[in-house]
Amino acid sequence: SQMFTLHPGDVISTGTPPGVGDGVKPDPVYLAKGDVMELGIKGLGQQRQEVGQDA
């Protein structure tokens, strides 16, 4: 990267797609303590994150 150094395990996030979080109608859904997020790329690896406190 020209702007900053990327390290193993870094995740680049570009925002929230429609239909999640505040975009869910009529009752928005937010991350909460204990929720688990998983991200994987075939042939590259996988990450698993657990929310430690209410977001």
pLDDT, tens digit, 9 for 90 and up, residues 7-20: 988 888 776 666 67
Three-state secondary-structure class, residue 47: strand
The total number of structural domains that make up the chain:
1
Residue 21 backbone phi and psi in degrees, to 5: 60, -130
Reported as a pLDDT band with limits 50, 70 and 90, residue 3 is confident
pTM for the structure as a whole: 0.51
Which burial class, exposed, middle or buried, applies to 22 when counting CB atoms under 10 A from its CB (0-12, 13-18, 19+)? exposed
Amino acid, single-letter form, for residue 31:
L
Residue reference for tokens 């657990």: 50
| Domain containing residue 17 | 1-55
- Rounded CA gap, 55 and 35, in Å? 10
